[in-house]
Every structure is written in C-alpha cells, then in structure tokens.
Chain A
C-alpha cells in the first residue's frame, strides 16, 4: 500500500489566494519531499524537509512536518495560474532502502 495519503484530492482557488495541501504517511521517515506535475509531464522536485526539521521555505512555498502526527503540509502563497498542476508528497522510509514512495496527489486549479 502507498505510504502517503494526500488531502484534498482536488482544490480550486482564485489567483492570489493561498493553497494548502496535506500529506499523511504511515512509517517513520528520513525525509519527505514535495513534487509538482504539470499535465502530460514528469514530476519536478519542489522541496525536501528532513525528519529533524519542522518547517522549510522556498520562495512562495512553505512546508511543515509533524513527525508525531506523521503529516506534512505544503502551502503555496499568492497563487498564480501557472501553479495549476498536481502536487505529490513522497517519503524516504527510515529503513533507508532508497525507495521513495509517493502519495496519490492533490490536483490544484488556480483560476485567473
């Protein structure tokens, strides 16, 4: 079964609003990563947060990690139409086998 579960499955907002996506996982992890996928393309890495970090920023992205709740959130501030994409979380298990397991993703639509 997949490691990550994402919520919501779909999100529609207006340009300029903030978008928040959540990811829950099952086992202890080394790190958690977020990726974006534009329609018909491969995934692109956005940000990585280590298990000993609680929050990380990259431009308009803010990621939080709560290892006690086994959950993470991705916040996109001041969204743009170009942010329309699917967003996935992925986890590296503490067993450190190298496997990266993905969640089911959140589809974000930003309306101009």
Chain B
C-alpha cells in the first residue's frame, strides 16, 4: 500500500493563478481531510469529507474548494491564489468507523504564492 499520496511536492504560483493539489489514498478510508501548516499556527483544517459525495468546511475554508467523487481521491482547488495561501498543505485520511481511528498523513505539498 502506498498510503496517502500527495502531488506535487513543491509548487510556485503567481497571485491570481489557479491550481489543484492532488491527494489519493489506497486504504479504502471513508474520511479524508486537508490541513495547512504555517509556522507557529500548527495545523488548521481546511475541508474534510466523510465519504464520496460529501464534503464540509473546516476552520479555514475560504479560498479553497474540494470535491469527493470517489473514495480514493480528494483534490483541493485554489481558485485564485493569494500570498496568504503560501503554506505547507497536508492531506490525511482515516477509517470512518466511530471516528476513533488515527489519521494517516501524506508528506505534504509546499506551496509558494508570489
């Protein structure tokens, strides 16, 4: 099993550009989520999904869109990148049974917006 795979690992965007961060998991996990990590801020939840076709907002959803058409994939879209979105983005998944399971993390995408 590859676990949680994020692509790309690094990305530089200009302000106003759009892009999609990809996340795929091969563990048949119902729950998937996106976090951003900034220095001194810990991890903040952007969006999450409890199953295919279901998404919901986290703590900092503005400027980001998600969709969940399959169990495996949970892409994060930046519609119009801003310098404030410079961050490290982590995708994570877990089984949905009772929400007592640990999160499995990808290795992150480091995004710089100039």
Q: How far is the CB of B7 from chain A (nearest CB, A)?
A: 14
Q: Are B59 and A2 in contact (CB under 8 A)?
A: yes
Between A4, A48, A100, the greatest number of chain B beta carbons within 10 A of the residue's beta carbon is seen for A100
The interface size of chain A toward B, counting residues with CB under 8 Å, comes to 29
Q: Are A100 and B33 in contact (CB under 8 A)?
A: yes
Question: Which residue of A4, A45, A96, A103 is within 8 Å of B102 (Cβ)?
Answer: A45
A98 to B54, CA, bound (A): 12
Q: Are A104 and B42 in contact (CB under 8 A)?
A: yes
The digit string for A92-112, where 1 denotes a CB below 8 A from any CB of B, is 100011111111110000000
Query: Would you list which residues of chain A between 1 and 33 have a CB under 8 Å from chain B?
Result: 1-2, 4, 6, 30-31, 33
The residues of B that contact A59 with a CB separation of less than 8 Å are none
- Secondary structure at the A interface, as helix, strand, loop or mixed, is strand
Decide if B45 is an interface residue (CB 8 Å cutoff).
yes
A82 to B25, CA, bound (A): 28
Q: Which of B13-21, B71-79, B104-112 contacts A (4 or more CB under 8 A)?
A: B104-112
Question: Which residue of A30, A41, A103 is within 8 Å of B100 (Cβ)?
Answer: A30
The residues of A that contact B44 with a CB separation of less than 8 Å are 2, 102
Question: Which residue of B43, B99, B105, B107 is within 8 Å of A30 (Cβ)?
Answer: B99
B residues in contact (CB < 8 Å) with A: 4, 31, 33, 35, 40-45, 48, 50, 56, 58-59, 90, 92, 94, 96, 99-100, 102-108
**With A50-B100, A90-B103, A99-B45 already in contact, 15 other A-B pairs whose C-beta atoms are closer than 8 Å:** A33-B103, A35-B103, A41-B108, A42-B90, A42-B106, A45-B102, A45-B103, A92-B99, A92-B100, A96-B99, A100-B33, A100-B103, A101-B59, A102-B45, A103-B42
A residues in contact (CB < 8 Å) with B: 1-2, 4, 6, 30-31, 33, 35, 40-45, 48, 50, 88, 90, 92, 96-105
What 3 A-B pairs are tightest by C-beta distance, nearest first? Answer: A42-B105, A45-B102, A104-B42
